[in-house]
Amino acid sequence: MSAIADNLQAVQARIAKAAAAAGRSPESVRLLAVSKTWPLASVIEAADAGQRAFGENYVQEGIDKIAAISGRNLEWHFIGPLQSNKSRPVAERFDWVHSIDRLKIAERLSAQRPAYLPPLQVCVQVNVSGEASKSGCAPDDTLALCRAVAALPGLQLRGLMAIPELSDDPAAQRAPFRQVREIFDHIRAAGLPLDTLSMGMSHDLEAAVAEGATIVRIGTAIFGERNYR
């Protein structure tokens, strides 16, 4: 087996163990392979090992890979910050966007989503306490943003995404994930049919699964340490 295939298997085992510990089935957690900064060959290696869903942070890098590997029935998730002037290729090429943090970007993506494609699957990014990234909607504004996004015809609102601060302490890791899940429960109780909690990365997937993650976004544990140039 290739190194990437080995790593995928190891990550799936971590997911299964964390799910079992939480009394959840392993199939309730999807693995999104975050291939940002890695070449097409790495994506192909992972796809050959059976990985189907890939996450990208940078628009040009993502659409280049999608164009180069079309025909393999992969699923592409945009997970990075998105500027308004770069929304069109994302609306036209990606299957999911996890980083909706304001209505304006959602409206543009909806208007730019081609009618011949299914609606773009989207998550609203929430900025919970200790958020590493500055982007994301404030917790108190999340329900209103979700209601507005759910009404847009080119989008299908699926759930929430978060990127909490790095921490080595498992208890400290769980607190922000729990906060996101409570916001998620609150929005569902308000009548929006959310089914996706996108949270957990290489260092904290166990804590995220314990708090209900349904998609974990894993880069380093699959592909290795990134080298930003």
Ligand X SMILES: *Cc1c(COP(=O)(O)O)cnc(C)c1O
Interface positions with ligand X (CB under 6 A): 34, 36, 57, 79-80, 163, 201-203, 217-221
Length of the chain: 229
Q: Is the CB of 101 or the CB of 149 nearer to ligand X?
A: 101
C-alpha to C-alpha distance for 140 and 157, rounded to whole angstroms: 18
Least distance in angstroms from the C-beta of 223 to ligand X: 8
* Cβ closest to ligand X, residue 57 vs residue 112: 57
**CA gap 164, 128 in Å, rounded:** 7
Distances (CA, A) of 110 to 135, 154, 206: 20, 4, 34
**Minimum separation from the CB atom of position 221 to ligand X (A):** 6
Position closest to ligand X via CB: 219
User: Can you list the alpha helix ranges (DSSP code H) found in 128-219?
Assistant: 142-150, 170-189, 205-210
Q: Which two tokens stand for residue 1?
A: 């087996």
Distance CA 194, CA 160 (A): 8
CB of 54 to ligand X, least distance (A): 11
Q: Shortest gap between Cβ of 226 and ligand X (angstroms)?
A: 7
Of 37 and 112, the one with the shorter C-beta distance to ligand X is 37
> Considering the complex, what minimum distance in angstroms separates the CB of residue 137 from ligand X?
15
Question: Considering beta carbons, is residue 23 or 127 the nearer one to ligand X?
Answer: 127
Say if CB 12 and CB 30 are below 8 A apart: no
Judged by beta carbon, residue 150 or residue 163, the one nearer ligand X is: 163
Cβ pair 122, 153 in contact under 8 A: no
